[in-house]
Structure 1
Amino acid sequence: MSAQESIPVYTNLTDLYSSLGTSLNHAERWSNLAEEFEKRFKKKPTYIARAPGRVNLIGEHIDYALFGVLPAAVERDILIACAPRDVPPNSPVEPAENAPGSVIAENLQPKYTRQVFAPRRKPTEEEVHVEGWHLEIPQELRWENYVKAGYYGVLEEHFTGATQLPIPVDLLVTGSVPAGSGLSSSAAMVVASTLTFLAINGKLEASSDEKVTKGKLVKMSMENEKRVGVNSGGMDQAASVMSVPSSVLYITFYPSLTASPTPLPAGAVLVLAHSLVVADKALTAPKNYNLRVVETLVGARILARHLKLTVGATEKITLREVLGRLVEEVVGDGGDGLAEDMLMEALAKMGEAVEVLKPVGTTHAEWGATKEEMVEMSGLSAEEFHKVYLSWVDVDATHFKLYKRAKHVYSEALRVLQFRKLCLDTAASSSLSSSADVLTQLGQLMNDSQTSCAADFQCSCPELDQLTGIAREAGALGSRLTGAGWGGCTVSLVPEAQVDAFIKKVAETYPPYKGLEGEALSEVIFATRPSVGACVYKFD
């Protein structure tokens, strides 16, 4: 799947629905959204933008180290219906809905209140004669902040210094991706809102000089989500934008963003189960997500020094780049980087190399290093270290577990390539008898990933550990957390013939599911197949 491809813009509902999958009644949801939009805004929507959630089969917390991952879009998604709003000429800019580029945003969920906001022009600090934009985006877990984040990215990319103003817009949001589940509802919301403002302002049209490709949308969405306080590595956005049906995506970030479909073996079904522990990545980032980003980056610099590799004073070298420099990988000037078999060989060696990151002595809790020790090992001054690694992100820790984090990253990156190779080899052989054996091997890789996530990256939690254990006892070939962790969902690999029995057994055994039935149960545990990525429907 090329990053240079255009975002699909459908004008035919039959083509649209056939691309989305079959486990949900998509036609009913889209029709209900359009009808409700017309009731509320007294006009039909011009577009509906869709962005799916995603499940990561394997490859957790390695995307921001620039290693490849294997996610897939799920059928559950975020939908945003929108239409331009006519503002009479010479209208006062107050109230806010009359301001240039103003937004009236509503949500089908009644607990989310109506929001009205508008960006305003401001001079940039660098060039007082060039106008930028200001749009207040508190780093809080509120749905409208994700909408604002998508909007601000479009303003900065397409309207800075331009005489054209963004179009005032009315929008209505609905979603079926559970929030805080590890299925990337936040990324889906940011992708969908970015798409909404691109579409309404004509940036997806083929005739536009600023037409946005899938690769550009991924990069914009990554930057947009940072505005709500999350330093994303790009996996969530790439999966939401670039996925194709019936396959997981092998997404790489080095030396460039690529996405290659990888077909799952016949008979494989994914079952997602919510632990019912809400994983609020934005609020817990200083102790969890953002801290892991810093630990992997600092670990990479210290490892590079031990291996006598050259690292720039202000460079934030990643663990993937350390590996590349060690084996003298050629990138750029016609070099495409390591072939996958060579990368697998190099990763096996890196598992031994990271042993140098183990602190000496027994005073360090679980192989942790203090900030002062990290500064000394980095070869930087305290001021340089702070500028490179701490000035741009909030972290909260007394000990930094560099060894454990690097050990997980390199072992997980190897498991991703082993998983992909098994899938590709099975597809090439077309042997049903070998497919069953391969599913068992894939399941074991998922189980090993969960062990590493829990023990080395420490992004699991007791509920996730319990739920993955129950899943295996109920017949899953493999079960692991998916997403950032610390709550949210598990993904289990289940033979197709056993899906119903598996779901029934887990529902009866996992204590937080007690008393859940019907729709309430289907909201927390459900089967899915890989779905298509983000798209837009344009009404006549």
Structure 2
Amino acid sequence: MAAEQPIPVYTDLSDLYGSLGTSLNHAEKWNSIAEEFQRRFGRKPAYIARAPGRVNLIGEHIDYCLFGVLPAAIERDILIAIGRRPNPNAEDAPGSVVAENVQTKYTRQVFAPAPRRRASVSEEEVRLEEWHLDINTKQLRWESYVKAGYYGVLINYFAGGQNPASVDLLVTGTVPAGSGLSSSAAMVVASTLAFLAVNEKLEANFTGNGPKISKGQLVEMAVANEKRVGVNSGGMDQAASVISVPSSALYISFFPELSASAVPLPTGAIFIIANSLVVSDKAVTAKHNYNLRVVETLAAARILARHLELKVEKTEKVTLREVVGRLAGEVEEVGAMPVEWLLETLKRMEREIECLKPKKSSGEGQFGVTMEEMIEMSGMTAEEFKEVYLSWVEVEATQFQLYKRAKHVFSEASRVLQFRQICLAAESSPSPSDVIKDLGKLMNESQTSCDELFQCSCPELNELTNIAKDAGAIGSRLTGAGWGGCTVSLVAEGDVDAFIKKVSATYGPYKGLQDTALSEVIFATKPSSGACVYKFE
């Protein structure tokens, strides 16, 4: 399985470039960061870690509900050049980091982890140390993502008095921040990889012992690491950045365990990404956007389980996917239920969610419930509910839209499965154009659901998807968390240039942009390979 494969470590750049795609000049970018590292730090780096951004073709906000999604890595990426400091100053703390960024708006940062022994430990943990790195989740800075990746390496590989290496690092990237292309996950994955590599923890043959770290293990580390900057990610972004393969989307399933399989995309159409230029920082707005949606879906799952008389432990954060499995009699030890079975159960769930509506609607189409109503529906006491669902995350709302969120999740999960089935059957289809139309229809339905049910779109994204369809897109939808960021549009291969020209002439924020500036905000991309490391010999 793809998740069980080791992280690629290259020593030949020609092999590395061949895996990344062809629409960007990758050689120029990699050479540039190596030369800039040498200019700033007086030596060449030991490694360059690479993590791509991703475009989610379909399956928004359902990964943390444990339903499968269909992203693809893009060619645009984050690169981190890193090397051990050959002569650390005597006053430097062990494991100190000098972090610089090619972009001049990001200033040089110097930090070091502080070992912190636990106040009380079990006998088995007597030698275990915790590490502290100051990560401000209220005012997020670029180095917070670097620190998050570093922290995961510290707690997993530096217990019992070991010290990490003191290092210098340099970051560059072509994934625009807040665009919905998962720049934050790419930063965390790349920093995790960089610190693993420079501390000789990535490969067995670096130290001569120990197993290689698998792609699945890196995904799990990166998910945990990103939570340290205040985002409760479901794992799609990290999995796409790490596990993707060229020329295919990636069907990522999270239940009963993480698994990933390539889904070849049909020929005859291209995916085009367009940036709305509305910046969406999901960590900063999490309490009333992203994290609130996580809590709403979890609460909906418990209430549904109670309605269906399914067993849920008192402190369990049961997900909507687990509710579906328990209702269908799925046995986790055997593996996930067949796709046809899952689709049938999802249809049933779209009827069962009526129990999530308030007893008294406040108006037509108004399905929100108050905190008090939500707690009563859950069958828990206020103290129990707040401990399980609110003690670990900050949210802000007066109305909780449990019905709308669950309806989106179940319908979107069905669309992902249908999209995958259409792609897998495309080679034997007598009409490729019908295949592409079917995919476009699912993308359009997804955008409507994201806007009306999950309410994660925004006026600019709605405008941009409408402009895209008027310009000839077969399907167009937001991609990423939403509330800004990018759209992804399915466009016939022969219409790409005309499409980009029409969109750039119609969407107000694009007017006046030309050449490089325009290519930064609207571009076609080919599915790229996942994260990797280049080791300098």
With the length of structure 1 as denominator, give the TM-score of the two structures.
0.96
Which amino acid counterpart does residue 472 of structure 1 have in structure 2? K
- How many residue pairs were aligned? 528
Matches of 1:410 and 1:304 in 2, distance apart?
Answer: 15
Residue correspondence of structure 1 range 329-478 to structure 2 within 5 A: 329-332=330-333, 335-363=334-362, 366-427=366-427, 429=428, 431=429, 433-478=430-475
Alignment gaps of 5+ in structure 2: none
SS at match of 2:287: coil
Matches of 1:125 and 1:296 in 2, distance apart?
Answer: 36
Taking a change above 3 Å as real, the CA distance of residues 152 and 297 of structure 1, as seen in their structure-2 partners, is: same
Determine the structure 2 residue equivalent to 1:249: 250
SS at match of 1:336: coil
Residue correspondence of structure 1 range 90-489 to structure 2 within 5 A: 91-93=89-91, 98-127=92-121, 130-139=128-137, 140-161=139-160, 163-207=161-205, 208-209=209-210, 211-332=212-333, 335-363=334-362, 366-427=366-427, 429=428, 431=429, 433-489=430-486
The partner residue of 1:531 within 507, 528, 531 is 528
- Deviation, structure 1 residue 130: 3.2
SS at match of 2:105: coil
Equivalent pair of 1:101/1:119 in contact (CA under 8 Å): yes
Which amino acid counterpart does residue 476 of structure 1 have in structure 2? A
Percent identical residues? 68
- Deviation, structure 1 residue 451: 0.3
- Deviation, structure 1 residue 520: 0.7
Determine the structure 2 residue equivalent to 1:35: 35
> Which has the larger displacement, 517-526 or 79-88?
79-88
Q: Does 2:494 match 1:497? A: yes
SS at match of 1:331: coil
String of CA shifts for 1:328-382, please: whole Å, max 9, x gaps: 11111xx112011211111111111112211122326821010001111111111
Matches of 1:171 and 1:390 in 2, distance apart?
Answer: 37
Which amino acid counterpart does residue 508 of structure 2 have in structure 1? P
String of CA shifts for 1:35-64, please: whole Å, max 9, x gaps: 111011100111100000000000000000
CA RMSD of aligned residues (A): 1.2
Which amino acid counterpart does residue 512 of structure 2 have in structure 1? G
Determine the structure 1 residue equivalent to 2:86: 86
String of CA shifts for 1:168-222, please: whole Å, max 9, x gaps: 1111100000100000000000000000000001111233415311011000000
Alignment gaps of 5+ in structure 1: none
Matches of 1:404 and 1:347 in 2, distance apart?
Answer: 15
Determine the structure 2 residue equivalent to 1:70: 70
Matches of 2:72 and 2:398 in 1, distance apart?
Answer: 36
Which amino acid counterpart does residue 315 of structure 1 have in structure 2? E
Equivalent pair of 1:203/1:210 in contact (CA under 8 Å): no
Which amino acid counterpart does residue 284 of structure 2 have in structure 1? L
Matches of 1:379 and 1:121 in 2, distance apart?
Answer: 43
Matches of 2:399 and 2:85 in 1, distance apart?
Answer: 53
Matches of 1:387 and 1:210 in 2, distance apart?
Answer: 38
Equivalent pair of 2:306/2:378 in contact (CA under 8 Å): yes
Superposed structure 1 runs of 4+ greater than 4 Å apart? none
With the length of structure 2 as denominator, give the TM-score of the two structures.
0.97
Matches of 1:525 and 1:142 in 2, distance apart?
Answer: 26
